[in-house]
């Protein structure tokens, strides 16, 4: 049988990132107050627009630089940083995520392939237990679909399966790899009901990541 490698996204695929973001919003509101919390999320969006990925360390750094000490002293800044650094991401995994990763690992090689900054995203993946679940195979990029040759070289296989909550990323990757790739659209998070890119239909669509727990290897190879 053909060998399989699974490229598995994190945010809103394995971790309920929408829930995480709301929780972080509430905690920052309690610590910083409404004005600074609002400004934090404005800077958050500015950085994401600039870099095309979320970068929490840079967002906090820029907020600190523009905020007078009278409004946010060093101790408050450290506590804000700790909200992100110490967040219990393992509590926000979707139901049966670890069991599903174990099942996929019995069918082929599982690799976490995530977009994000190298600090916060890496911390999230390790603190949630996801890195351990895939035996340390973790890759983080600004735009993973621009690094396909590198990903394939590190974890070669006869066939690849991309599991993601973003139809656009699935579409762009499929356009490059064609029949070498099976796309799996997980309908979780804010993109769950997004219109797919024109001319694109995912190979497999599931409502939750746990739905893949019963799939056989042959279903990913069709």
Domain positions in the chain are 4-15+93-221, 18-89
* Helix or strand run (H / E) with residue 204: strand 204-206
Average pLDDT over residues 100-109: 98
Residue 113, classified by CB atoms within 10 Å of its CB into exposed (0-12), middle (13-18) or buried (19+), is: buried
Q: List, for residues 185-210, the tens digit of each pLDDT value.
A: 999 999 998 888 998 999 999 999 99
Q: For 142-172, give the DSSP string.
A: SSGGG-HHHHHHHS--SEEEEEES-HHHHHH
pLDDT at 54 over 80: yes
How far apart CA 140 and CA 114 sit, in angstroms, is 5
| Distance between CA atoms of residues 35 and 19, nearest Å | 22
Q: Which CATH class is domain 4-15+93-221?
A: alpha beta
- Assigned token pair, 45: 């969006």
pTM: 0.92
pLDDT tens-digit readout, 63-84: 999 999 999 999 999 999 999 9
pLDDT at 30: 97
pLDDT tens digits, one per residue of 140-187: 998 899 999 999 999 999 999 999 999 999 999 999 999 999 999 999
């Amino acid at each position: 049988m053909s060998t399989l490698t699974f490229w598995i996204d994190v945010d809103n695929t394995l971790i309920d990132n929408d829930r995480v973001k709301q929780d972080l919003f509430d905690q920052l509101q309690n610590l910083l107050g409404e004005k600074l919390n609002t400004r934090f999320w404005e800077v958050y969006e500015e950085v994401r627009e600039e870099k095309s990925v979320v970068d929490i360390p840079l967002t906090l750094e820029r907020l600190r630089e523009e905020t007078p000490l009278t409004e946010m002293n060093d101790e408050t800044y450290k506590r804000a940083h700790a909200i992100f650094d110490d967040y219990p991401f393992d509590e926000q995994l979707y139901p049966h995520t670890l069991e599903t990763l174990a099942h996929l690992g019995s069918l082929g090689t599982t690799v976490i392939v995530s977009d994000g900054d190298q600090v916060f995203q890496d911390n999230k993946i390790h603190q949630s237990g996801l890195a351990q679940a895939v035996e340390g195979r973790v890759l983080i990029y600004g735009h993973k679909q621009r690094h396909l040759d590198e990903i394939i070289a590190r974890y070669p296989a006869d066939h690849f399966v991309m599991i993601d909550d973003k139809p656009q990323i699935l579409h762009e990757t499929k356009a490059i790899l064609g029949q070498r790739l099976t796309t799996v659209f997980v309908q979780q998070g804010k993109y769950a009901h997004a219109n797919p890119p024109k001319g694109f239909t995912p190979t497999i669509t599931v409502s939750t990541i746990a739905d893949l727990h019963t799939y056989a290897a042959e279903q990913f190879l069709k």
